[in-house]
Amino acid sequence: MKIPEKFHYYLSLHEDCNELLLARAKHLRAEDVEVSQHIEAARIRKMVFAVLGESHRMKAFVRLSFLGTTVLYGFLKPRHRIGEHTCDHFARRNPGIIVVLGNGRESWISLCRGGRVWRDHGRGLNESLERLKSALHCSENGPDVEGLWQVYYDSQYCPERKNPAAFHRHMPRRDQEAAGLRLVQSQILLIASFATPLRPDRSWP
């Protein structure tokens, strides 16, 4: 893994990053952080890799479900400040669909339309979903999108590739919990969770 050119952005998402460290890092180039043996550069490199690693794992393992036909939601409780970043990722992959990620304490909401992303930050996943459901009047009688997604997830499962040792090595228990996963009899199952509201202080088309 190489240090990206915009490593300052990923550094800012680390739980231990502060304004002083970020200000010092702005005087460094990605190449400097990549090869330098200086203590601070090595620390920055480690922090950036930690954020990139967690972001990669959350994008791979967060499981999304449909609320009606216009909202996708999933459980996310990251260690670093990657909630909005991860939510934007799923929103860009699903343009025109409102994406809500969160847990019992906070949630992130993103909508990508016309190449632009609208964002909001709520107090909890359940509250956000309830407010969205009320605002959008989500119908339970539409197409079985949940069933369609289940077919997709099932199609990605390949017993021949099952390797619990490798999974635990690359997806530690803390990250399993952050993505709303738990391991039961060597299979990954979703821990059902809901949560948080859309506030009218942001511009939504």
- Span 3-40, pLDDT tens digits: 999 999 999 999 999 999 999 999 999 999 999 999 99
What pLDDT is stored for residue 148 in this prediction? 47
What pLDDT is stored for residue 197 in this prediction? 37
C-alpha to C-alpha distance for 50 and 44, rounded to whole angstroms: 10
The mean pLDDT of 128-137, rounded to a whole number, is 82
Query: What is the residue extent of each domain of the chain?
Result: 7-57, 62-190
pLDDT band with cut points at 50, 70 and 90 for residue 43: very high
What pLDDT is stored for residue 68 in this prediction? 83
pLDDT band with cut points at 50, 70 and 90 for residue 196: very low
Cβ neighbours of residue 63 under 8 Å, at least 6 residues apart?
74, 75, 153, 179, 180, 181, 190
- pLDDT greater than 70 at residue 70: yes
C-alpha to C-alpha distance for 63 and 99, rounded to whole angstroms: 12
Which tops the pLDDT comparison, 145 or 131?
131
- Burial string for 121-154 (b: 16+ CB within 10 Å, else e) reads bbbbbbbbbbbbeeeeebeeeeeeeeeeeeeeee
Q: Which CATH class is domain 62-190?
A: alpha beta
Q: In this predicted model, what pLDDT tens digit does every residue of 146-195 receive, in sequence order?
A: 554 554 555 555 565 566 666 666 666 766 676 666 543 344 444 333 33
